[in-house]
Amino acid sequence: MKKLTKSKVFKFFNHLTTALLFLFLIGMLFIVISSKASGGEPEVFGYQFKTVLSGSMEPDIKTGSIIAVEPGGDMERFKENDVITFMQEDERLVTHRITEVIHSGEEVLYRTKGDNNDAEDINPVLSENVVAEYTGFTIPYVGYLVNFAQSQNGAFMLLIPGFILIGYAGFAIWQAIRELDLANKKEASEEEEVV
């Protein structure tokens, strides 16, 4: 009876480990393929995922987080306190909060500031440089993983769970064969006792 319960617990953890490794492998495949296909950050159902590598928006958006942003639409629609992602002059993406909307002739500019910064950004942002709006969805620390997956060494990230899965499958097969051998030996010894 005790062995049967122990066997069930072992099988449960066996299945759980296999499922988690498989999900990790699929997740890493998705991240790498999606980011390579889009030429940048992964995209799901029209939302882009951006990696945050600075602490300018802490504590709401932690360094190393990934955030969901919604690209497209009228980039002149934003108002004070909206959080936008925009392209800076050095072609770097920044996500900051709008502190003021400036109407200058036919142009709309946004004065922005990181929540954790002491001062507003030096240059106002042209509405045409706005890339997307922050949706409020963030996952802390996963951005470090995404950033690594997009690097040249990111391909190795796919190999690691693959090798672990293969090794684990080999261990599970060896375990099953060992149990069959033990069962056959037990059956053979019982037959010898009967004779």
Residue with tokens 């993406």: 93
User: Which residues, other chains included, contact 40 with Cβ-Cβ below 8 Å and sequence gap of 6+?
Assistant: 48
The H-assigned helical ranges of the chain are 2-38, 142-149, 154-194
Q: Which of 7, 34, 35, 54 is catalytic?
A: 54
User: Residues 130, 73: contact at Cβ < 8 Å?
Assistant: no
List the structure tokens of 119. Answer: 């001062």
Q: Is 127 a catalytic residue?
A: no
SS (H, E, C) 67-119: EEEEECCCCCCCCCCCEEEEECCCCCEEEEEEEEEEEECCEEEEEEECCCCCC
List the structure tokens of 10. Answer: 């072992």
DSSP 52: -
Phi, psi of 88 (to 5 degrees): -85, 175
Catalytic residues: 54
